[in-house]
Amino acid sequence: MPNALAYLMLLLWPVISLILFRRLPLERAILWSFLAGYLLLPPVAEFDLPLVPDMDKFTIPSVVAFLLCVGLMRKKVPLLPQHPLARLLTLGFAFSVVPTVMTNSDPVIFEVLAGSEPIRYITDMLPGLRWRDLGSVMINQIIILMPFLLARRYLSSPAAQKELLLAFCIAGLAYSIPSLIEIRLSPQINISVYGFFQHDFSQTMRQGGFRPIVFLPHSLWLALFMFSAVIATTALARVATGKDKTRFAFAAGYLFVVLILCKSLASLAYGLSFVPLVALAPARLQIRIALGLAAVAITYPMLRNLGLIPIDAILAQAEAISADRAQSLGYRFENEALMLGRAAEKPWFGWGGWGRNLVRDLETGAIISIPDGHWILVFGTLGWLGYLAEMGLLTLPLVLLGIEIRRRQVSEISPFATPIALILAATMVDMMLNDTLVPVTWLCAGSILGYAERLRYPGLFEARRPLFDGAQILVPHRSARQRQRQI
């Protein structure tokens, strides 16, 4: 059970965010409100309030940052994107829960037959969804979109995107210290600070050592964050000059070592694949790779339903690398198959909340499936409508950015956009196996969408300001006269 400090931290986060918004530029305040909340607030602990979603380390920073930006700073945050398809997907994401609630008013009853007599005893029951539940579910969808909308407006300029990558770099370097402590001494920090361990301790033991978890929900979340920090630092090293280039390159190498020590095969594979891309490849190749990965992620359920995923071949390859990894992957595939069977009963709008999407024993109601991938959770809960709306919102920014990159010279494109796109694409692939969609991911998606819209609709947010001035961003200490000569 979380201790008093865990709940106190959740209560104090609005005050901490207020200080950030008072003392930092708006872009940095938004970034650190989300990043620090994600990395420092207690997992699992939450406030269960009536008629609204649970307030935890994901929802509190989103709500607080949005309200401070709109209420305290008096900044406008458009609720709908400019691109027509992005508008449609945003509305679809928010309102896809309406048919889900309307088609799930019936309770799920578990009953047992008493002997040979036709007498049935109800052993358990999951309630149906009522109209008052619709408000709570829609509020939850809107809260999920808040970091996306904030990033689209205020983290989408090239300068703000550089701030985003720099925040990943700094946060990764800072978080590496407790991570290394846990790698050496075992994951104990959350127990020491918040009084409980947030997951199954056996899952932190790998290869004769430990995987760090610190204050995140699982070790895999931490490894994926370290991968993001490595990509961000590598991108900064590529565009930096002089001593800064050496510093960022050294930091990227150090963070990559930490990523290796996190002992996550998937995140390490992302790092080995993407670091050379970010360091050496042109923007067009980077966005093509990101689009290819996004296409795999969004079509995975369709291919899985049709039996076109070579499960046996994948498990054989995993077995060649590690028997433990093959066993873990096989367990995930088995649970996916169970959940797909359940989702197939209501494919269009899903089963809704209250755990109705889980596979349970028909008599006792005991849960017999443990879903891991985010896609199967969304697919089972909201059906195809909700799944396509969510994955569409994550994929469309990459598509629009790819279109704009193809139309323009490489020199016209921010060097910070495609690394963020690769971080987003890697997370989407990881969501096939893990529930790793967090507010920071929505920040990346919103940043890419906003930047693509800036290119497509000049003057959308800032009139009479160049979309990208590489010298101004990369060499900020040049004089105004030098910049005027360059222009």
pLDDT per position as a tens digit, 129-173: 888 788 889 999 999 999 999 999 999 999 999 999 999 999 999
| Each residue's pLDDT tens digit, 274-298 | 999 999 999 999 999 999 999 999 9
Give the model's pLDDT for residue 476.
Answer: 42
Structural domain includes residue 215: no
pLDDT of residue 115: 59
Question: Is 57 within the bounds of a domain?
Answer: yes
**Within a domain: 45:** yes
> Mean pLDDT, to the nearest integer, of 110-132?
71
**Number of separate domains in the chain:** 1
Residue 34 lies in a domain: yes
C-alpha pair distances (Å), 117 with each of 114, 253, 362: 6, 70, 18
pLDDT value of residue 123: 67
Residue 360 has a pLDDT of: 83
Q: Which residues pair with 110 in a beta bridge?
A: 124
Domain residue limits at 55: 1-76
| Cα atoms in the Cβ-side hemisphere of radius 13 Å centred on 65 | 34
Q: Is residue 58 part of a domain?
A: yes
Pair 15, 36: CB distance under 8 Å: no
For residue 59, is it within any domain? Answer: yes
235 located within any domain: no
pTM, to two decimals: 0.90
CA pair distance 259, 222, nearest whole angstrom: 9
**Residue 444 confidence (pLDDT):** 98
pLDDT value for 181: 97
Check pLDDT > 50 for residue 108.
Answer: yes
pLDDT at 398: 98
- 123 SS3 class: strand
Q: pLDDT at residue 417 above 90?
A: yes
The span from the CA of 290 to the CA of 293, in Å, is 5
Decide if pLDDT at 486 tops 60: no
Q: What is the pLDDT of residues 31-76, one digit of tens each?
A: 999 999 999 999 999 998 877 888 999 999 999 999 999 998 999 9
Tell me, what's the pLDDT at 99? Answer: 94
C-beta separation of 448 from 404 below 8 A = no
- Average pLDDT over the chain reads 89
pLDDT of residue 460: 87
Maximum distance among all Cα pairs of the chain, rounded to whole angstroms? 94
Residue 390 forms part of a structural domain: no
